[in-house]
Chain A
Amino acid sequence: MPRYSTGEAPGGHSYLQKAAMNGSCKIENGGLKNGYVKNGVCPEDRILNGGLYKRPFHEAFEETPMLVAVLTYMGYGILTLFGYLRDFLRAWKIEKCHNATEREDQRDFVPLYQDFENFYTRNLYMRIRDNWNRPVCSVPGERVDIMERFTDDYNWTFKFTGRVIKGVINMGSYNYLGFAQNSGFCAEASAVVLQQYGGGVCSTRQEMGNLDKHEELEHLVAEFLGVDAAMTYGMGFATNSMNIPALAGKGCLILSDELNHASLVLGARLSGATIRIFKHNNMQSLEKLLRDAIVHGQPRTHRPWRKILILVEGIYSMEGSIVRLPEVIALKKKYKAYLYLDEAHSIGALGPNGRGVVDYFGLDPRDVDIMMGTFTKSFGGAGGYIGGSKVLIDYLRKHSHSTAYATSMSPPVAEQIITSMKCIMGADGTSLGRERVEQLAENTRYFRRRLTEMGFIIYGNSDSPVVPLMLYMPAKIGAFGREMLKRHIGVVVVGFPATPIIESRARFCVSAAHTKEMLDEALSKISEVGDLLQLKYSRHHFVPLLDRPFDETTYEETED
């Protein structure tokens, strides 16, 4: 059922009333209880949570309407019944089985293709598969060209018609600052570097693959983040999954947000440390876990944990929410834990200077122990970085698998990142980067405000460029993607494994490259499709996260 509705205050309050309440009666929220807020300070200007926040933190997750939830479950029920029917037909060889099957001579083996035999993939995802993996045949900028394809066996195979759908407005790429371009200064600089260095490096950083471009990039990243040193990797996912094992191990405790990205989850699991999950962005839940960890120590032996590492993301890519970083930092300082911040989506996209969530809250980057991020999104490149103290980076250079085994970053990609980062910093002598950051913030607020006014259920923070629009019903996932493409808008629709089963959604990513006309066109088409599919579920019962009392019964101990 609705994930965010446990014990919420009765709906219908406007956010401002609540905000006023937070400022004056601090008993209501966790701030006072946590002990890091001084008593008796009642700021007049409605600063949230006792002055930890320098700007209003407006985050809403509207409750799922009951009727919609019931109909969604009913829809999944019907699809599941037909899935069983089709599986029955396949098992009895009445219908041809398209998916991967075992070889005839290995029939009695344990099945090898367990994953592909997944009931959900075969019977539910297959029916609307045409909405994903559409081949794009242009630069993924604000408009893209998409190759038209058709299927004559209900999405098991696709064939190209040879036509191209031109000028589709791209609302799906993580091109936050619009640096995904095939022309302009970034592309030209990359072309020059390609001439000089070639495309590949064919070695790792520890051997023959350490170019001057990489050193330059690392210095620039450290300067950009405001930390002592930084290190870059060729793949963003591997940055997380290979560096967390270098930092934590057996006897360590990892506290991870429940909605963390798969790379963080994989890294935490590979490390062998004990993992405990706290409720999404819920500081009471985090504090309880921290307190328990310190009081009880390791299970059975009750020795103290060797270290405690908190894993959070800057912007959560499926919820569009922004981490409560001031509170996390206060907690981490109080309980002397380490903080690993994944800024994959937030770097470049948040903050007045585009320097991520730390900049957004106006905090000191040195308070975050490990600053991780990717170049894939805002910089239009590829790869990831880790920033932090000199000691940390030197340690990682020696111990991380990404350094030892991964081929180093392609020089043109490094150059793309260098030029785009310099542009954001204003080091190229123009104000272009700053304008883009401001444009993105403006586009984000406009797009979110208009969608909310239209009556859609929109999740997340009002400043987050990731905008999830709730669809709920499984048939509407397919219908929304198809109807939007018909109207020449490219969107990303997301269903079950990535989201909870009933909370299917469409996810828009606003870019600085979108002009107001494009956004208006997209908005009018979204409204049109929203009317056609009856997606305007909102009853304007906003439930600000801050006011949800912490319910002890809703969170599970992960004691082992």
Chain B
Amino acid sequence: MFFFERFGATIALIKMDVKHFKDYLSWLYYQYLLITCSYVLEPWEQSIFNTVLVTAIAMVIYSSYVFIPIHVRLAVEFFSGIFGGQHESTVAPMS
């Protein structure tokens, strides 16, 4: 019995949280509209603007995902070539 009561309370809490979260999201979207001036754009202009913005962000994320590891690896190799110690294979064996 106690369990069910607690369960019910949790459900209510989650529901409230979800509602809260939705409100927060809609408030965030409203702020986005105001700051980017999409608020005063006509719907078709708004969709163009959102598409362009989302595409640009997606491309930035994708290209950073693809290229940053490569660049980092190249940079590490480059700098280790300058500052790092000599490679094992270049060290002449002394016996």
Contacts and interface: CB of A to CB of B under 8 A. Distances in A.
B88 interface: no
Contacts of B38: 78, 475
B7 interface: no
A532 B33 CA distance: 12
A533 interface: yes
B41 interface: yes
Given A82-B45, A154-B42, A473 B37 contact: yes
Contact of A534 (B31, B40, B45): B31
Interface string A518-560: 0000000000000011100000000000000000000000000
Q: What secondary structure prevails in chain A residues at the interface with B?
A: helix
Interface string A460-487: 0000000000000111101100000000
Contact of B34 (A79, A85, A473): A473
A74 B30 CA distance: 17
Contacts of B41: 82, 127
A474 B31 contact: no
Contacts, number: 44
Interface string A113-144: 00000000000000110000000000000000
B29 interface: no
A533 B37 contact: no
A475 B45 contact: no
B40 A474 contact: yes
Contacts of B49: 78, 82
Contact of A479 (B36, B39, B42, B45): B39
A478 B35 contact: no
Nearest to A76: B37
Interface residues of A, number: 20
Nearest to B39: A475
A71 B31 CA distance: 12
A474 B42 contact: no
A452 B38 CA distance: 29
Contacts of B35: 71, 74-75, 473, 475
Contacts of A478: 39-40
A40 to B, nearest CB: 55
Contacts of B31: 534
A475 B40 contact: yes
B35 to A, nearest CB: 5
Given A532-B30, A534-B31, A75 B36 contact: yes
Nearest to A531: B27
8 contacts: A74-B35, A78-B38, A79-B40, A127-B41, A474-B37, A475-B33, A478-B40, A534-B34
Interface of B: 27, 30-31, 33-42, 45, 49
Interface of A: 71, 74-76, 78-79, 82, 85, 127-128, 154, 473-476, 478-479, 532-534
Q: Which 8 A-B pairs have the closest CB atoms?
A: A475-B39, A127-B40, A75-B37, A475-B37, A475-B34, A78-B37, A79-B37, A475-B40
